[in-house]
Amino acid sequence: MYTNPTYLTLITILSLLVFVCITDENAAPWLGIQFKILLLSIRKQWLLLKMKPDIWLMKWRMQRTLRKLQQDTELNRIIKEHEDAINSGSDVP
């Protein structure tokens, strides 16, 4: 049997919630509503993090994407120069 305090605490809390839901007919709908409110607030925070551009996380993500695009553009330019040098027959450094 598990003797981990976290496990025992979780089982105790869940058992208490089940007992309250069985004995009180309004407890289960109330807990369901509270759970939905929690999910909505988590979703709201996630959308704010993703959509609002003036926060630090979004600025960081945009700068990172811009750096990757700049590196890809620079790499493509170097590859094109190399291919042009090979096609023209000159020595490649």
- pLDDT above 70 covers a percentage of the chain that reads 89
Tokens of 32: 């369901």
Tokens of 13: 């809390």
Higher pLDDT, 51 or 22: 22
What is the average pLDDT across 47-55? Answer: 74
Q: Would you call 58 exposed, middle or buried from its count of C-beta atoms within 10 A (0-12, 13-18, 19+)?
A: middle
Whole-model pTM: value is 0.46
Residue 42 pLDDT level (bands cut at 50, 70, 90): very high
